[in-house]
Chains A and B, each alone.
Chain A
Amino acid sequence: DAGVIQSPRHEVTEMGQEVTLRCKPISGHDYLFWYRQTMMRGLELLIYFNNNVPIDDSGMPEDRFSAKMPNASFSTLKIQPSEPRDSAVYFCASSSLYRTEGTEAFFGQGTRLTVV
């Protein structure tokens, strides 16, 4: 398996623009997580899905952030409008309750977002 795949790897956008981050989880994994990493706050959970259904979105900063998982192999995190304080590295991760690897979480390489 290719692992968790995120795109784009880097994104530079102007304040006020819409940004869409994409994630393809590991095939067969039924949990998908979005995290954000900053120097000040470290790694924070934004939202996670189980079987494509959002379970906990309490970490989503505000209404400017939205996430969807239309099917088991694809998820998006959208920021509209973007602000400079949204600059961070956004990670997607997936895990499985039922596979032999247990509940180990695997992370993508991240999307480095810069809002200017």
Chain B
Amino acid sequence: KQEVTQIPAALSVPEGENLVLNCSFTDSAIYNLQWFRQDPGKGLTSLLLIQSSQREQTSGRLNASLDKSSGRSTLYIAASQPGDSATYLCAPPRGTGRRALTFGSGTRLQVQP
């Protein structure tokens, strides 16, 4: 059974800081990993999908890395802004060949103006 841990659980930083959100998972036989953002009371917005053949994936100020062998992924947010305040969720597949995702508890980010 895939288990996902996200550290830290919560983070409060001043605007402009570069941030690192960590995710670890127990079943490394995955073909990709997805990062989501969830605003309070809203749905999940896909941020990045990183394939197992890639080591990094970038979208604007976001960069995600994946190290399957160690069961870790990192989401890097550059030059954080108040609009980045949300909960960030890491979601690898449930296991080999499985399409459904398993979610961590998330990192709740607050960026102070």
Contact = CB atoms under 8 A, between A and B. Distances in A.
Interface of A: 31, 33, 42-43, 45, 48, 50, 55-56, 91, 93, 95, 97, 101-110
B44 A107 contact: yes
Given A43-B89, A107-B44, A95 B103 contact: no
A43 B43 contact: no
29 contacts: A33-B99, A33-B100, A33-B101, A42-B104, A42-B105, A42-B106, A43-B103, A55-B99, A56-B98, A91-B43, A91-B44, A97-B99, A102-B32, A102-B51, A103-B31, A103-B49, A103-B99, A104-B34, A105-B46, A105-B91, A107-B36, A107-B43, A107-B45, A107-B46, A108-B43, A109-B42, A109-B43, A110-B42, A110-B43
Most buried by B among A33, A43, A104, A106: A43
B108 interface: no
A45 B101 contact: yes
Contact of B99 (A31, A107, A110): A31
Interface in B39-81: 42-46, 49, 51
Please classify the interface of chain A as helix (H, G, I), strand (E, B), loop, or mixed, using the class held by over half of its residues: strand
A106 B99 contact: no
A50 B99 CA distance: 9
Given A42-B105, A105-B34, A107-B43, A48 B49 contact: no
A60 to B, nearest CB: 13
A107 B98 CA distance: 18
Contacts of B51: 102
Nearest to B98: A56
A55 B98 CA distance: 10
B65 to A, nearest CB: 17
A45 B2 CA distance: 12
B86 to A, nearest CB: 14
A31 B94 CA distance: 15
